[in-house]
A and B are shown apart, each in its own frame.
Chain A
Amino acid sequence: MAQGNKHEPLLRIVKRGESPFRLKLLVRIAAVLLALIADALFIYFVTGLDPLAVYTTMFQGTFSTPMRFSWAMRDLASLLLIGIALAPAFKMRFWNIGAEGQVLMGALATAAVMVYYGGKVPNAVLYAAMLVAAVFAGALWGFVPGWFKARLGTNETLFTLMMNYVAIQLVACCVNIWRGQASGLGKLNMRSKAGWFPQLFGQRYNINLIIVVLLVVLMYCYLRYSKQGYEIAVVGESENTARYAGINVGKVIIRTMILSGALCGLTGFLIVGGRDQTISTTTAGGNGFTAIIVAWLAKFNTFYMALISFLLIFLEKGAGEIASAYNLNDFASDIIAGIILFFILGSEFFINYKPIFHLGKHGTITKEAA
């Protein structure tokens, strides 16, 4: 072996089989720690502030008061729900970048029902109508790119991305009509509160939290234990294998996208009814994009998704807190989150691949066992 080693490269990369859980955990923890160090360096060099003090302040953004915590939970619910909605599509390797638009369509349908039927029908009927309209609108927004992908192989990444802007313009149009001469839309049905979720344990959005927890479990079981979940996994691994196994790939794609879109629509319903009681073009607030990262990093495991969503929300709230405490601005959270995401994304490499270094003159393999 020593003979041929002249041409051995210094660094060779080998694909790992299944990595042990311990390694996965270690790599991820190391990635987050390194990212926090990188963020600390960034904070120190840019602002000259003591990073530890900054991180303490950051911690307060979520945990200082019960109120703060419940706000964090409220925002977590929206983000996590979209992540759950995206999971089946992504597991199928269908790049649904259109969650933003699907959520907006759900929200728009909900708001439309509230505007046109609020106070005219009994509350129970109103809620049902809002829910059905939202789920249908979201499902439609997922169905269209899904159908074209299944029938014509149209690129779904770009299709769903464009559908976001169509949805945004539709919302802008409706808001423009509904606000009339007023400068803004304000809360819908302010006086009658028709269509507003009832308060549960003192908060309207506790209903959202309960639904999210339920869906975390349901989606986990759907993907892991149901026949449809299995079909999704096979299509995601290889469409040819799926076809060979007798799975109707087109049908699975369309069905999964309807599900994904419907759940996004449901999120829109919960945001409008349970959180905002109004609608604007920023109702989804970029969560549709952030949720993609959540779903991908968690490898479609809904419980990991809850963890990662929490981490991201924690960062966002923390950065807001830093901003007000040190007179910086909210955009710090984008940078901090960006750096953390880069590190976590990069760390996947060490889970899936094994670098082998060839050092020394005679090709001594120094890092074979890892």
Chain B
Amino acid sequence: MDTFVAWILRAIPFGTIIMYGAMGEIITEKSGNLNLGVPGIMYLGGFAGFASAYLYENSVADPNMAFCVALALVCAFLASMAGGLIYSFLTISLRANQNVTGLALTTFGMGVANFFGVFILDGRTATQSLVYKTFQTRLPVLSELGVIGQMVFGYGFMAYAAVILAVVLHHILNHTRTGLNLRAVGENPATADAAGINVTRYKYLATCLGAGISGLGGLYYVLDYNQGIWATTGQIEALGWLAVALVIFTTWKPLNAIWGSYLFGMLYWLYQFLPTLMGFSVPGYVTDLIQMVPYLVTIAVLIVTSMRKKREDQPPASLGLAYFREER
């Protein structure tokens, strides 16, 4: 039982990282833009959030932690949006190829975060921002109410914000005029254009806001999940691709992202907890194989959705294609 609780306590924060990444990408893809720059954007968000908090902490004698949290959130969001803006300008205005632009953005974002990160590290292998304590603050009474309290209330505020955001996005996409228009743009931009929807504006806004949301995943990774520690690692890149995978898994529905991401978290940590739960130990090389499971599950989902051909489970019809009004 203890192992199971520990497993949940690991899986949900992990899921939260990729939930942010995936929700941002869902919004982006709903507008018809396949942004493969998610890993780069998560790097930008994670680094901007960390750097702003770290610099603020170290330049003020008595840092106000609430302000520090807000600062990190705003900086992460803006930096990620800037990444999204580069992508939008190139793919929407200049109609560059989306896949290639996204991959270039991933390279660029990783480069920016790690390049400037080294300046902050200043020769050390890792530094820590103390704001993580505020990010990890749990509800005082509820989180101590036994096992259930721990499993439900044992996380920082961003884990709950992610769930709320998923519900809000679900509502916007499916129950508002804006959401309808956005989906129309992603399905058939020419028709949307003819109906008087400003296709360019929708694509820009969806891609930039989506990038901002994805970037929060990077922030959550650094300042909560990783306890405020910045080190030069490739971990965020793998998380970013997992977020892209999660978008497929959810079949482009934000509500599915909630349980989907937690399931991915469980699968990701399967290798550590499954053997203990089952009461046997496995050699190191088997854990490598168990770590393959989230990707295999995603492939299985891809295949099953393409086999069933249910219309509501398909990707937006114009996904990956640039829209040019005069080309019919």
Distance A339 CA – B86 CA, assembled complex (angstroms): 10
Q: How large is the interface on A (under 10, 10 to 19, 20 to 34, 35 or more residues)?
A: 35 or more
Known A165-B292, A166-B292, A169-B289; contact A293-B103, beta-carbon cutoff 8 A:
yes
Cβ A15 vs Cβ B110 within 8 A: no
Cβ B289 vs Cβ A173 within 8 A: yes
Cβ A154 vs Cβ B115 within 8 A: no
Known A155-B302, A331-B111, A334-B110; contact A345-B118, beta-carbon cutoff 8 A:
no
In the complex formed, the residue of B with least CB distance to A172 is B288
Interface presence of B205 (CB below 8 A): no
Interface presence of B295 (CB below 8 A): yes
In the complex formed, the residue of A with least CB distance to B114 is A331
A162 is contacted by which of B89, B114, B295, B306 (Cβ under 8 Å)?
A: B295
Distance A236 CA – B86 CA, assembled complex (angstroms): 28
A163 CB contacts on chain B under 8 angstroms: 295, 299
Cβ A345 vs Cβ B248 within 8 A: no
Interface presence of B171 (CB below 8 A): no
Cβ A161 vs Cβ B324 within 8 A: no
How near does chain A come to B199, taking the closest CB pair, in angstroms?
A: 14
Cβ B108 vs Cβ A177 within 8 A: no
How near does chain B come to A55, taking the closest CB pair, in angstroms?
A: 17
Q: How large is the interface on B (under 10, 10 to 19, 20 to 34, 35 or more residues)?
A: 35 or more
Cβ A334 vs Cβ B115 within 8 A: yes
A119 CB contacts on chain B under 8 angstroms: none
Distance A331 CA – B114 CA, assembled complex (angstroms): 6
A176 CB contacts on chain B under 8 angstroms: 284-285, 288
Cβ A158 vs Cβ B248 within 8 A: yes
Interface presence of A95 (CB below 8 A): yes
B118 CB contacts on chain A under 8 angstroms: 328-329, 331
Known A165-B292, A346-B96; contact A154-B303, beta-carbon cutoff 8 A:
yes
Distance A329 CA – B117 CA, assembled complex (angstroms): 10
Interface presence of B112 (CB below 8 A): yes
Cβ A352 vs Cβ B95 within 8 A: yes
Interface presence of A215 (CB below 8 A): no
Cβ A342 vs Cβ B302 within 8 A: no
Cβ A333 vs Cβ B111 within 8 A: yes
Interface presence of B42 (CB below 8 A): no
Cβ B110 vs Cβ A155 within 8 A: no
B245 CB contacts on chain A under 8 angstroms: 158, 161-162
Dominant secondary structure of chain B at its interface with chain A: helix
B86 CB contacts on chain A under 8 angstroms: 342
Interface presence of A220 (CB below 8 A): no
Q: Find residues 1-53 in chain A having any chain B CB closer than 8 Å to their own CB.
A: 13-15
Cβ B108 vs Cβ A162 within 8 A: no
Distance A166 CA – B114 CA, assembled complex (angstroms): 26
Distance A341 CA – B105 CA, assembled complex (angstroms): 9
Cβ A165 vs Cβ B94 within 8 A: no
Distance A169 CA – B296 CA, assembled complex (angstroms): 11
How near does chain B come to A344, taking the closest CB pair, in angstroms?
A: 9
Interface presence of B276 (CB below 8 A): no
Distance A148 CA – B89 CA, assembled complex (angstroms): 33
Known A162-B299, A335-B115, A348-B94; contact A169-B291, beta-carbon cutoff 8 A:
yes
A292 CB contacts on chain B under 8 angstroms: 99-100, 103
Cβ A169 vs Cβ B292 within 8 A: yes
Cβ B315 vs Cβ A162 within 8 A: no
In the complex formed, the residue of B with least CB distance to A340 is B104
A157 is contacted by which of B93, B112, B286, B320 (Cβ under 8 Å)?
A: B320
Known A161-B244, A345-B104; contact A173-B303, beta-carbon cutoff 8 A:
no
B interface residue numbers (CB < 8 A to A): 34, 36, 86, 89-90, 93-97, 99-101, 103-112, 114-115, 117-118, 238, 241, 244-245, 248, 284-286, 288-289, 291-292, 295-296, 298-299, 302-303, 306-307, 315, 320, 324, 326-327
Q: A166-B295, A342-B86 are in contact. List 20 more A-B contacts (CB 8 A).
A: A152-B306, A154-B303, A157-B320, A162-B245, A163-B295, A165-B295, A166-B296, A169-B288, A169-B289, A169-B291, A169-B295, A176-B284, A328-B118, A332-B111, A332-B115, A337-B107, A337-B111, A338-B109, A345-B101, A345-B104
Interchain Cβ contacts under 8 Å between A and B, 23 examples:
A97-B103, A148-B306, A152-B303, A154-B302, A154-B306, A159-B299, A162-B245, A165-B238, A176-B288, A289-B103, A289-B106, A290-B107, A297-B100, A331-B115, A335-B108, A336-B111, A337-B111, A338-B105, A338-B107, A341-B107, A348-B96, A348-B97, A352-B95
A interface residue numbers (CB < 8 A to B): 13-15, 95, 97, 148, 152-155, 157-159, 161-163, 165-166, 169-170, 172-174, 176-177, 289-290, 292-293, 296-297, 328-329, 331-339, 341-342, 345-346, 348-349, 352-353
